[in-house]
Amino acid sequence: MSLPNMVIWFFLLLGVSVVTVRVLGQPSTDGFISIDCGIPDGYTYTDDNTSIPYVSDGQFIDTGTSYNISASYLDDTLPRQRTTLRSFPTGARNCYTLRPVMQDGKYLIRATFTYGNYDGLHRARPDNPILFDLYIGVNLWKSINISNASFTYSTEVMTIASAEFISVCLINNGSGTPFISSLELRPLENTMYRAVNDSYSLVLYSRLNLGTTTDKTVRFPDDGYDRVWRPCRNEPDWSEVSTTSRVRNYPKDVFEAPSAVMQTAVIPANSSSLNFYWDIEDGDPASEYYVILHISELQNLTGNKMRQFDVYGIERMSPPNPHSPLYLVSDSIFGNTLETGYSRYNVSLDATTDSTLPPILNAREIYAIRPLSNVTTDIRDVDAIMAIKVQYQVKKNWMGDPCSPKDYAWDGVSCDASMIVAINLSSSGLTGVIGSSFARLKAIEYLDLSYNNLTGPIPDFLADLSSLQVLNLTGNHFNGTIPDALRSKKDKGLLVLSIDPCIDENPCPSKKNKKKITAPIIVILSVVGVVLLLVLMFIAWRLRQRVPGMTPGASARLGSEDCSGQKMDFESYPLQFESRQFTYMQLVNMTDDFVRVIGKGGFGMVYHGCSENGTEVAVKMLSESSSQGAKEFLAEAQNLTRIHHRNLVSLVGYCKDGNYLALVYEYMRRGNLRENLNGVSELGGTLSWRKRLQIALDAAQGLEYLHKGCKPPIIHRDVKTSNILLGEDLEAKIADFGLARAFHSDAHTHVSTLRVVGTPGYIDPEFHNSFQQNEKSDVYGYGVVLLELITGQPPLLPPGPETVHIAQRVASKLARGNIDDIVDARLQGEYDANSVWKVVELAMKCTAQASTQRPTMSDVVMQLKESLALVNEGIDVSQDGAFEIPGKGSVTAGPTAR
Ligand SMILES: *[C@@H]1O[C@H](CO)[C@@H](O)[C@H](O)[C@H]1NC(C)=O
Ligand SMILES: *[C@@H]1O[C@H](CO)[C@@H](O)[C@H](O)[C@H]1NC(C)=O
Ligand SMILES: *[C@@H]1O[C@H](CO)[C@@H](O)[C@H](O)[C@H]1NC(C)=O
Ligand SMILES: *[C@@H]1O[C@H](CO)[C@@H](O)[C@H](O)[C@H]1NC(C)=O
Ligand SMILES: *[C@@H]1O[C@H](CO)[C@@H](O)[C@H](O)[C@H]1NC(C)=O
Ligand SMILES: *[C@@H]1O[C@H](CO)[C@@H](O)[C@H](O)[C@H]1NC(C)=O
Ligand SMILES: *[C@@H]1O[C@H](CO)[C@@H](O)[C@H](O)[C@H]1NC(C)=O
Ligand SMILES: *[C@@H]1O[C@H](CO)[C@@H](O)[C@H](O)[C@H]1NC(C)=O
Ligand SMILES: *[C@@H]1O[C@H](CO)[C@@H](O)[C@H](O)[C@H]1NC(C)=O
């Protein structure tokens, strides 16, 4: 194998750009994009004259209509590309997307236009031209003026690809329907045509092969870059010179003029000066041109013959005067035109006095310099939206630059500066999953994907879009649940999230769960259920016998020896809440593999789940560090499942499966009281004073039951607003009771060597001396909760060492005697002052330093009922605050009131 061949193979094997190979070896069409516009979609052919393969334009554009030129304009000499075209009767801007290209690569792009009366309208006459604009991306390439129906107009530009594609856009400015016959893209070496860079492109004015006696155009394969060198009409005072020898290029020639062009040249016939000129094109905004003169000596000069000349009319010329062309070696003189202020430019080549021969010129190129001054959309956004367009086959006017110019911005896409900030793809027939490209739109604020046919999960990455404020996913077929991060953003009020109710509100579709229940489980459950029902009915019956004087409607404890069951409501506890031991696999099924986190408690993460019968549950996984003594846990968990009260969160079941420990609770839809006070609940808005009182009473009753209803009493040990959960109708229940007995605390809670739980701000001041907790410790924590309900503030403010406890803050305000200062400003003065005074007094008693001065929970319940009665007398129920539930307004004065 010869050395050059080996080099070629080396590059081929490396997969290096074939451009490199072309330089080393044979000209190749690799990297060319050659589009014959208007031929049938998917059709390809190889051009007879150039051997360049052409393809149809279907894959590069979505819009426009294909046409043949009219038969009367067809003739056999007409190159095939000129016989068909694509016309764009609709849309102000229609763009071809040329890909693949290399970002930052340098390319030559050529477009041709042959009207040929394709539309039968006999336009394209000098008195009725077709005028439209051609753009590369957002920058003008050329204004096209078609005024001859049989002529083929052609224009070429050299430019840098700013992305992995290049947009060629035809813009209709109301003077005729834009159309195009062919579009060709050719890669150039980045070292070539140095005037082409990120700020400027070059638009061809003329590229002429001088001294040729044929009318043959030189292009590929003679020119490996497929530049078109047109034969130049000879001036009468010029004479031709030529050679049959090959004219070589310098190794690092920046223009690589082909030998076929360099082999002919002109010299002045009878003078020592060669002149030419050109005029600014009509309507051409360019006032500066880039000129390249290609020279080579074609005669073997012997003796004292010498050819030397100076060039005038080119500024910043390289190389500088004088010039002496080398024999059979291609050389170039290039630079910008001088600013003349006239519409005509003159260049002259004048022999120096030392020269014995006249100047010589083999070829010349003239380009208009085009600034790329219009701002394009941020390239990352362009890439992302292009990927979205491709993924969903979006057929809108999604062509060219998404944002700019504003007049042609994409339908449903809005931009701020050069970033995409809004996308509306509602009802756009999108199918499949939400693609990761959306995650790359860093500035997006508004995303509407509603009413499409999107499926699959709602991806987590949507929560990473930091600017996203509105997300509409309604009317699709997503499965799974809303990612926790997204839900949390919504809950914090950072995101307006619209989604189908079956995902948002009812994540337990019964269909799905039915499938999961296998027949044996159903049988077992039914048997267990019937047996349990019988047992419970028997116990209830026995208790009614044993406890005389029980009020009708009240009912029995569920087999617990701990609690008296005095305040239990048997009817309100259907069998679904009967305690069960779950396996870990059952938990996995219930929580859909722990996909939705709804909280992080003192003992571990809490997940949303659905039990087999479709009831929503909260699954609290216990972190390993907190699982001390599995035996103890089991005993305690079984105990806890027996404790039932309207104001206690029910333990549905538990799991002890290998190392996995978990508690399964009833699900409380509205989250915890702290979140609701912060106004970040799902409803938003503010809890009214009356609702706060009702919540306070509910919570107090739950605690009272633990203290009085259970024997021995259950000390909660961690009473706080985040352990009070709210249900659908804002009924409050105490959570996490009894856990202190079962577990050590972990990082979230106050840690001591004793088995203590508690949260800073809620801890009984006496505890620091006695290290003991009793019912009065819970009363202290409850007092803090009351103060939070009144003020809306957290217990410790401000965070840090300067913190002041809520009891002190309220006490110092009380000293000034102004209740308005104390009450949560979010209530906007909407409260019954008498009841507030009463509750503030009660809260201050509960938070007394000495436990002996604190009331019992039974006292608290009594006082609160009185306060609530005051409110119910004073306020028209129908006008109460934002959280009032219709029809429930009188509940507070009902069974729980005296
Ligand atoms: C163009 O002409 C070809 C061959 O005559 C024909 O097959 C094709 O359908 C025509 N295309 C259009 C758009 O009229
Ligand atoms: C091929 O080239 C010759 C000479 O330039 C020209 O006359 C002819 O029209 C071309 N044919 C095609 C099909 O392009
Ligand atoms: C920039 O865009 C505007 C609006 O389309 C156009 O008028 C102008 O010619 C463009 N400028 C350049 C340098 O292309
Ligand atoms: C279009 O070209 C024709 C013929 O060259 C010329 O007469 C006419 O002025 C041009 N129109 C524009 C708007 O440039
Ligand atoms: C139109 O172009 C053809 C060449 O394609 C030329 O022969 C003819 O003279 C032109 N007509 C006019 C009016 O310029
Ligand atoms: C040029 O001519 C001289 C003498 O006539 C000859 O020796 C030399 O080889 C020629 N050079 C080339 C490159 O042909
Ligand atoms: C939506 O997708 C489903 C399943 O892929 C398909 O059955 C249904 O026809 C699609 N509907 C529309 C309007 O595309
Ligand atoms: C959700 O949809 C995706 C894609 O359609 C599918 O692969 C997956 O199995 C579905 N998951 C569930 C739980 O239905
Ligand atoms: C999608 O939701 C947003 C916010 O809720 C709303 O502004 C928009 O109109 C909705 N889109 C449709 C098509 O309903």
Ligand 5 centroid–CA 347 distance in Å is 29
Using CA atoms, how far apart are residues 527 and 521, in angstroms rounded to an integer?
Answer: 10
What's the residue count for the chain? Answer: 898
Residue 599 is part of a domain; what is its CATH number? 3.30.200.20
Nearest CA residue ID for atom 2, ligand 6: 300
Tell me, yes or no, whether 734 and 843 share the same domain: yes
Q: Is residue 522 part of a domain?
A: yes
Estimate the share of the chain in helix, then strand, then coil, as percent rounded to the nearest 5.
25, 25, 45
Using CA atoms, how far apart are residues 874 and 832, in angstroms rounded to an integer?
Answer: 7
Ligand 7 centroid–CA 432 distance in Å is 10
Q: Which pLDDT score, from 0 to 100, does residue 282 have?
A: 66
Question: Is the C-alpha dihedral spanning 428, 431, 434, 437 positive or negative?
Answer: negative
Q: Token pair of 879, please?
A: 């006008």
Q: Token pair of 162, please?
A: 């700013």
Q: Could you tell which of 34, 49, 50, 52 is best to mutate to test the pocket of ligand 2, judged by most ligand atoms within 8 Å of the CB?
A: 49
Tell me, yes or no, whether 254 and 296 share the same domain: yes
> Catalytic residue at 718?
yes
Using CA atoms, how far apart are residues 814 and 204, in angstroms rounded to an integer?
Answer: 85
Q: Is residue 813 part of a domain?
A: yes
Tell me, yes or no, whether 226 and 317 share the same domain: yes
Tell me, yes or no, whether 351 and 415 share the same domain: no
Using CA atoms, how far apart are residues 182 and 38, in angstroms rounded to an integer?
Answer: 9
484: left (phi over 0), alpha (psi -120 to 50) or beta: alpha
Residue 125 is part of a domain; what is its CATH number? 2.60.120.430
Tell me, yes or no, whether 482 and 520 share the same domain: no
Q: What is the pLDDT of residues 126-155, one digit of tens each?
A: 999 999 999 999 999 999 999 999 999 999
The structural domain count of the chain equals 6
Q: Token pair of 773, please?
A: 């907790």
Q: Are 823 and 791 in contact (CB under 8 A)?
A: yes
Q: Is residue 551 part of a domain?
A: no
Q: What is the pLDDT of residues 775-789, one digit of tens each?
A: 899 999 999 999 999
Tell me, yes or no, whether 92 and 126 share the same domain: yes
48 ligand 2 Cβ < 6 A: yes
Catalytic residue among 562, 718, 736, 832: 718
Nearest CA residue ID for atom 12, ligand 6: 300
Tell me, yes or no, whether 119 and 138 share the same domain: yes
285 ligand 3 Cβ < 6 A: no
Contacts with 91 (C-beta within 8 Å, 6 or more apart), sequence order: 63, 172, 397
Q: Is residue 761 part of a domain?
A: yes
Q: Which pLDDT score, from 0 to 100, does residue 630 have?
A: 65
Residue 783 main-chain phi, psi, to 5 deg:
-60, -40
User: Cα angle at 36 between 34 and 41, to 5 degrees?
Assistant: 110
Tell me, yes or no, whether 74 and 180 share the same domain: yes
CA 591 to each of CA 172, 486, 586, 588, 618: distance values in angstroms, whole numbers, following the listed order: 57, 17, 9, 5, 9
For residue 37, the 8-state DSSP code is T
- Residue 447: what residue type? L
Residue 857 is part of a domain; what is its CATH number? 1.10.510.10
Q: Which pLDDT score, from 0 to 100, does residue 741 have?
A: 58
Asked if residue 489 belongs to a known ligand binding site, the reply is no
Q: What is the pLDDT of residues 206-245, one digit of tens each?
A: 999 999 989 899 999 999 999 999 999 778 899 999 999 9
Residue 459 burial (CB count, 10 A) = 18
pLDDT at 475 over 80: yes
Residue 403 is part of a domain; what is its CATH number? 3.80.10.10
Q: Is residue 200 part of a domain?
A: no
Is residue 437 classed as helix, strand or coil in its secondary structure? helix
Q: Is residue 305 part of a domain?
A: yes
User: Measuring CA to CA, which residue among 412, 390, 410, 411 is closest to residue 400?
Assistant: 410
Averaged pLDDT for residues 518-530? 46
The DSSP-derived string for 366-404 is: EEEEEE--SPPPPHHHHHHHHHHHHHHT--SS--S-SSS
* Residue 536 confidence class, pLDDT cut points 50, 70, 90: low
User: Could you say which of 159, 188, 217 is where a domain stops?
Assistant: 188
User: Could you say which of 341, 371, 401 is where a domain stops?
Assistant: 371
Residue 225 is part of a domain; what is its CATH number? 2.60.120
Ligand 1 centroid–CA 68 distance in Å is 6
Q: Token pair of 234, please?
A: 């000879």
Using CA atoms, how far apart are residues 217 and 898, in angstroms rounded to an integer?
Answer: 106
Q: What is the pLDDT of residues 303-362, one digit of tens each?
A: 899 999 999 999 889 899 999 999 999 999 999 987 767 788 999 999 999 999 999 999
Tell me, yes or no, whether 408 and 271 share the same domain: no
Q: What is the pLDDT of residues 414-472, one digit of tens each?
A: 999 889 999 999 999 999 999 999 999 999 999 999 999 999 889 999 999 999 999 99
Tell me, yes or no, whether 361 and 403 share the same domain: no
Tell me, yes or no, whether 400 and 316 share the same domain: no
User: Measuring CA to CA, which residue among 649, 620, 793, 642 is closest to residue 725?
Assistant: 649
Q: Is residue 858 part of a domain?
A: yes
* Residue 479 confidence class, pLDDT cut points 50, 70, 90: confident
User: Could you say which of 546, 570, 596 is where a domain stops?
Assistant: 546
Atom of ligand 1 nearest to the CA of 68: 1
Mean pLDDT of the chain: 81
Contacts with 694 (C-beta within 8 Å, 6 or more apart), sequence order: 730, 732, 868, 892
Q: Which pLDDT score, from 0 to 100, does residue 404 have?
A: 86
- Residue 283 belongs to what domain range? 3-23+208-371
Q: Higher pLDDT residue, 683 or 803?
A: 803
Segments in 225-336 forming alpha helices (H): 259-262
Nearest CA residue ID for atom 7, ligand 8: 456
Q: Is residue 676 part of a domain?
A: no
Tell me, yes or no, whether 336 and 428 share the same domain: no
pLDDT at 658 over 50: yes
What is the C-alpha end-to-end distance of the chain, expressed in Å?
A: 106
